[in-house]
Amino acid sequence: MSLIPALKSLLGDSHVLTGPDMARHASDWMGNYHGTPLAVARPGSTAEVAATVKLAAEHGIPVIPISGNTGLTGATYTEGGLLLSTERLNRIREIRPASRIAIVESGVILSRLHDAAETHGLYFPLWFGARGSAMIGGVLSTNAGGSNVLRYGSTRALCLGLEVVLPDGRVLNLMSELHKDNSGYDLKDLFIGAEGTLGIITAAVMKLVPAPRAHATATLAARSLPDALTLLNRLQAASGGLVEAFEYMPADYMARLERIRPDLGIPFPAHRDCTILVELAATSPALATETPHGTLPLTDLLEETLAQLMQDGLILDATIARSTTQRAAMWARREAAAEIGAAVKPMIDSDIALPLDRVETFLTRIAPRLADIAPGAETVTVAHLGDGNLHFSVYPGDPSRALYDRVIHAIEDIVQDLGGSFSAEHGVGLSKLNSMARRKDPVALDLMRAIKQAIDPGNLMNPGKVLPPKDASE
């Protein structure tokens, strides 16, 4: 029996897609990668995933997992492979309020987990613009970040246990609910961030935290990026570490926002060089209970701290959200980043991480390099400044591959010199394979290849992603 009839017998005809029915899975949402899968399989349980993977292995067909299809690096592209969609693995198996965990399947959409946790007075603290479509399996496979990494860490820090289907169809049960377990290698972390190259995540044990009782949110203009870092440290000290988000939107971002989304408004009359969105969150009733004056102590704390910083000259202007509507408007400006970034083509996108005190150095050094390589090119920068993650996009006007490579090389040169990383939260996929070959420590690459060979000797799990060929050179 050939693979597709065997899959239909296993999963049912409606859960094995071919031809035009594969369209929404075969292309990434940015429109950069258009593949031709053999088929799309939609298993509905871990057992069906295991049987699907085993069938594919018997036929020598690569398996490429796909979740919410919100990725940016081409990690779900395939020509002739079997796309395995996790969309039907969408059950929240259990929420355990006392131990503050959620046991969820990999196809659970992030915003649905947010809603489910909220009904128990809890919060799953992974937050970014694609939360309405991104799925748990995808965020684990890319070790996604977002706006709250500053306080809670990336997805890896939020995961206690995993269930994984291995390339031969065996199910690896790592569904630990323990915060401490020193019984050998921590295999769980091999699969988080591996982008499906070692196995398919089917379920996970995720940490929850108490839901904030109050938020205090402000948009401010700092005098400079070093001043913004001082501001962050002062706010952390004043609040006892309650800063959840510290987002950077410089003048180039605001100019593009005003052009593409004028309905969202601009926070200050003139574009400031260093606009920051800052948010604090508190669970303590002492900070979240309205005062006799009708204010929240958390907001008062933010206002008092900002006033002192303004008096010290570190802040040029500030607006504090006084309602949920105003808070939502502030966040809408930041979460429009993907929309305004993709509105102009060609775009050379980078997702880099830098030590916090070297962000300004990168921006200062990249400007003259770009002026030499692509005169007249525009840039748009937006950053999770609190954890040093910059999304730095270049719009050169010239769509040639040669110019793309020169720009990426220039960015990488400076990032590497400053002790940073060319990949912060979007993964590697296909688009950063050359960067991996050029910039990743060769010994680290050798070790990764050895792990891949040991777990997936047939190279059937999302082949060609994350790990560049051994002889790759640029």
Helices marked H in 289-335: 297-311, 324-335
Domain 214-337 has CATH 3.30.70.2190: yes
At 391-407, the pLDDT tens digits run 999 999 999 999 999 99
Q: Which two tokens stand for residue 181?
A: 């377990």
At 134-191, the pLDDT tens digits run 999 999 999 999 999 999 999 999 999 999 999 999 999 999 999 999 999 999 999 9
Q: Rounded to the nearest 5°, which phi and psi values hold at 436? A: -60, -45
At 68-126, the pLDDT tens digits run 999 999 999 999 999 999 999 999 999 999 999 999 999 999 999 999 999 999 999 99
Report which of 1, 92, 73 is spatially closest to residue 32, judged by C-alpha positions: 73
CB 172 within 8 A of CB 166: yes
- Tokens 């958390």 locate to 298
pLDDT score at 271: 82
Could you tell me what percent of the chain has a pLDDT over 70?
A: 99
- What is the chain's Cα-based Rg? 23
pLDDT score at 471: 79
CB 206 within 8 A of CB 160: yes
Helices marked H in 119-164: 136-142, 149-152
Domain 3-85 has CATH 3.30.43.10: yes
Q: Which amino acid is at 362?
A: F
Give the mean pLDDT of the chain.
96
pLDDT score at 6: 97
Mean of pLDDT values over 304-331 = 96
CB 210 within 8 A of CB 117: no
CB 30 within 8 A of CB 130: no
Q: Do domains 214-337 and 344-436 have the same CATH topology?
A: yes
Q: Which amino acid is at 411?
A: I
Question: What is the chain's length?
Answer: 474
Q: How far apart are CA 132 and CA 15, in angstroms?
A: 23
Q: Which two tokens stand for residue 215?
A: 């938020």
Fold for the domain defined by 344-436: Alpha-Beta Plaits (3.30.70)
DSSP-derived pairing of the beta strands 315-320 and 209-210: unpaired
Q: How far apart are CA 466 and CA 431, in angstroms?
A: 9
Q: Rounded to the nearest 5°, which phi and psi values hold at 30? A: -85, -10
Q: Is the pLDDT of residue 206 over 90?
A: yes
Which of residues 474 and 342 earns the better pLDDT score?
Answer: 342
Helices marked H in 198-355: 225-239, 251-260, 285-288, 297-311, 324-335, 337-341
CB 40 within 8 A of CB 86: no
Q: Which residues, 6+ apart, have CB-to-CB distance to 328 below 8 Å?
A: none
Q: How far apart are CA 21 and CA 154, in angstroms?
A: 34
pLDDT score at 474: 42
361-392 in b/e burial notation, b at 16+ Cβ within 10 A?
ebbebbeebbeebbeebbbbbbbbbbbbbbbb
pTM check: above 0.75: yes
Q: Is the pLDDT of residue 1 over 90?
A: no
Least confident of 191-200, 338-347, 448-457: 338-347
Report which of 429, 415, 315, 391 is spatially closest to residue 147, judged by C-alpha positions: 391
At 6-20, the pLDDT tens digits run 999 999 999 999 999
Mean of pLDDT values over 304-329 = 96
pLDDT score at 228: 96
Q: How far apart are CA 441 and CA 350, in angstroms?
A: 20
Q: Which residues, 6+ apart, have CB-to-CB distance to 77 below 8 Å?
A: 28, 33, 35, 64, 429, 430
At 259-285, the pLDDT tens digits run 999 999 999 987 889 999 999 999 999
Which CATH number does the domain 92-210 belong to among 1.10.730.10, 3.10.20.30, 3.40.50.300, 3.30.465.10? 3.30.465.10
Return the domain boundaries, the chain: 3-85, 92-210, 214-337, 344-436
Q: Which two tokens stand for residue 108?
A: 């659970």
Q: Is residue 253 packed enough to be buried (19+ CB in 10 Å), middle (13-18) or exposed (0-12)?
A: buried
